[in-house]
Amino acid sequence: MNETAIQAQGLWKTFQSGWWRRRHQPVLRDLQLAIPSGTIFGILGPNGAGKTTLISILATLLLPDAGTVYVLGLDVRRQAGRIRKRINLASGAAKFVWSLTVEENLRFYGRLYGLGGRPLAARVEEMVSLFDLQEYRRSPFETLSSGLKQRLALAKALISRPELLFLDEPTNGLDPLAAQHTREEILRLNRQTGVTIILTTHNLREAEQLCQAVGFLGEGRIQAQGSIRTLQQQLGLGDRLCLEFTGTMPPLDYQQLPGVLRCRRNESHLDLILDHSASRLPQLIRQINAAGGTISAIRVQEVDLEVLYREFSR
Amino acid sequence: MNLAAEAVKIWAFAARGGVMNRRNVFAVFEMLFWPLVGLFSVGLLTRFLELGTETVSFVLIGAVAMNTVQIAQLDVSYALLYDVWAKSLKHGFIAPIRLSHVILGSGLVGLCRGLAVFLIMVALSIRTFGMDLGRPGWSGLAVFFLGLFLVAVIEGILVLALVLLFGHRAEITAWAISYLVLLLSGLYYPVTLLPESLQAVARLIPLTYFMEYFRAFYGFPLSAADPLTLGFLLSLAYLSAGYGLISLSLHRARQRGTLLKLSE
């Protein structure tokens, strides 16, 4: 396996529309990207940042206007056919032919990768049980719930045993439980099979849970790349925690408490920026209580991707 | 090249088309209702006009051709239209397939459904309207069907190319194209009745020659010495050009993002 799954340099893509008056909409501008094999890499950015465009170019569904792109060491322009044998894709809000059952859809997509006869039957069986679809194997796609459709989409994406898997907003439209289940599946896949996973999301928490590294896409370029924690710390950005006190605030060195990136305070109001509010909050409250403080109100505002995006765009 | 894997990829489209047809009530309408309405309305009209046996056969050949071509062409077109309607087009084209897999697989379904309609229509033409099948014989009938099938595949490829180029706006061509081609190639009349400019167009359509070939068994004149050779040569030329066109359309769809626009 190559050490670099994706290598893109000077990547440009502009969409054109209109017959009479041509409109040009630049989406990717001189984008550079390198993703190592075997990792889960997140492409983050607000809506309209070009995440789907980028992933579609990497998945050979869209041709770039300029630049060089290598996927698994192969050129997306000249060796697309060879790339397609080794990749697959699943997207959120998955859609397949409505009246085909779970099994028929899996068989159809398996055959497109040249699987037939017993190997196909065995692989379909494997996918059906891996994604807990036994009960729904004869259910037409149109009758499945969003969560089941998403499981089928992941099963379809894995039927070909890809070395590189693209997940375009894989938890989009799922309820929190189904979304969490999908995330766990993605992590398990990466750990068990070593498949490289590239996912797009606008959910920072999801990226944090899944991705070893992320790239922030903005203004057509990767604005920053690294682990979310590192990037947050670099910028001093995090979840905002506002605490109101009854009486005097205990005299602690709040800036030095674990996970605190920034701190602002007045007599009865404490404003902290934490790297991760959910995991830090219980310990923080225990320390404040131990120091004799009485908290009357807590307000948590999770870090907003838009804020991160704006910071990186500066 | 792994031939077994290639065959499996072709079979993927054939099997899917088969399942879709089996599940879809509309497919029964396509195969039986409309063709029978067409055949009986035209057949009864020939009775009302008290036409001779040869002229009745001339008209019925048009009706048989129309329904056979229409059905077989629709099956080729459905290969991508199912994905366009389901918004799942990108999942097909991210797989290592070629357009030849799509066309051959869906063509197989078109061949089966087209043949079924052809045989039903011919049987009804003989039984109900006294068409004399003894004149062309089984070989004449087989060659005629092959010609019709090739025309259907060419039309289906054109529809697929237009859908890849223009998306949903081109869907209507799936139902319109056969009628337009049949209108120009002498559906119920000799092409000599068309305006001269359209006669020139008719001469470029292989279906014109296939119908002329079959109608010649009933005593109608030929416009070319060897209509079959001309029909098959034109068909081969259009099949090659059609494959080139659809390949270009797919390339253009990958440039312009049409595959994404036609997906979720």
So what's the pLDDT on residue A304?
63
Q: Which of B8, B87, B88 sits opposite A111 (nearest CB)?
A: B8
Whether A313 shows a pLDDT value over 70: the answer reads: no
Total number of domains in chain B: 1
pLDDT band at A305 (very low <50, low <70, confident <90, very high): low
Q: pTM for this one? A: 0.87
Q: How far apart are CA A236 and CA A232, in angstroms?
A: 6
CB–CB of B4 and A116 under 8 A? yes
What are the pLDDT digits (tens) for A266-302? 878 898 888 888 888 888 888 888 888 889 999 988 7
Q: Closest partner residue to A97 among B5, B88, B264, by Cβ?
A: B88
Compute the average pLDDT of residues B156-177: 94
Q: What is the mean pLDDT of chain B?
A: 95
Q: Determine the average pLDDT of the residues in A298-313.
A: 71
Q: How many CB atoms lie within 10 A of CB B127?
A: 9
Please tell me the predicted confidence (pLDDT) of residue A182.
Answer: 85
Instruction: Give the pLDDT band of residue A239 (cuts 50, 70, 90).
Output: confident
Task: Write down the mean pLDDT value for chain A.
Answer: 89
Answer yes or no: is pLDDT of A1 > 60: no
pLDDT tens string B32-47: 999 999 999 999 999 9
Count of CB atoms situated within 10 Å of the CB of B253? 25
Q: What does the alpha-carbon distance between residue A151 and residue A307 come to, in Å, rounded to a whole number?
A: 32
Contact A99 B20 (CB under 8 A): yes
For residue range A37-64, list pLDDT tens digits in order: 999 999 988 888 899 999 999 999 999 9
Q: pLDDT at position B77, please?
A: 96
- In terms of CA atoms, which chain A residue is nearest residue B11? A111
Chain A to chain B, count of Cβ pairs less than 8 Å apart?
101
The predicted pLDDT at position A78 comes to 96
Beta carbons of A113 and B93 less than 8 Å apart: no
User: Contacts of residue A116 in chain B, CB cutoff 8 Å?
Assistant: 4-5, 7-8, 11
Residue of chain A whose alpha carbon sits nearest to that of B262? A95
The two beta strands, A4-17 and A23-36, are antiparallel
Average pLDDT of the residues in B49-54: 93
- Tens of pLDDT, residue by residue over A14-41, are 998 877 778 889 999 999 999 999 999 9
User: What domain range includes position B55?
Assistant: 3-261
Cβ-based interface (< 8 Å): residues of B facing A: 2, 4-9, 11-12, 15-16, 19-20, 23-24, 82-83, 85-88, 90-97, 101, 251, 254-257, 259-260, 263-264
d(C-alpha A98, C-alpha A152), whole Å? 13
Q: Name the residue among B15, B101, B254 with its Cβ closest to that of A62.
A: B254
Chain B interface includes A181 (CB < 8 A): no
Is residue A92 within 8 Å of residue A150, measured between CB atoms? yes
pLDDT band at A260 (very low <50, low <70, confident <90, very high): confident
pLDDT of residue A264: 86
Quick one: average pLDDT of B63-72? Answer: 96
Question: How much is the ipTM here?
Answer: 0.93
pLDDT for the residue A32: 96
Q: What is the pLDDT, as a whole number, of residue A312?
A: 65
The pLDDT score that the predictor gives to residue B190 is: 94
Q: Which residues pair with A200 in a beta bridge?
A: A43, A168
* Cβ within 8 Å, pair A96-B19: no
The mean per-residue pLDDT over the stretch A195-219 comes to 89
Decide if pLDDT at B121 tops 70.
Answer: yes
Condensed to tens digits (0 to 9), the pLDDT of residues B191-240 reads: 999 999 999 999 999 999 999 999 999 999 998 889 999 999 999 999 99
Residue A179 has a pLDDT of 85
More confident residue, A219 or B62: B62
| Number of helices (H), then strands (E), in chain B | 12, 0
Report whether B71 contacts B35 (CB < 8 A). yes
Q: E strands within A141-289? A: 164-168, 196-201, 213-218, 221-226, 239-245, 260-265, 269-274
Q: Express each pLDDT in B80-114 by its tens digit.
A: 999 999 999 999 999 999 999 999 999 999 999 99
Q: Residue A22's pLDDT is what?
A: 82
Higher pLDDT, A190 or A1: A190
DSSP strand pairing (A295-301 vs A196-201): unpaired
Chain B: nearest CA to A14, how far in angstroms?
9
Between B43 and A259, the more confident residue is B43
Torsion, Cα A131 A135 A141 A147, to 10 degrees, reads: -50
Q: What is the CA radius of gyration of chain B?
A: 19
* Strand A213-218 to A221-226 pairing: antiparallel
Dist. CA B93–CA A60, nearest whole Å: 9
pLDDT of A232:
74
One-letter amino acid of B46: T
Q: Do B96 and A84 lie within an 8 Å CB cutoff?
A: yes
pLDDT the model gives residue B65 = 96
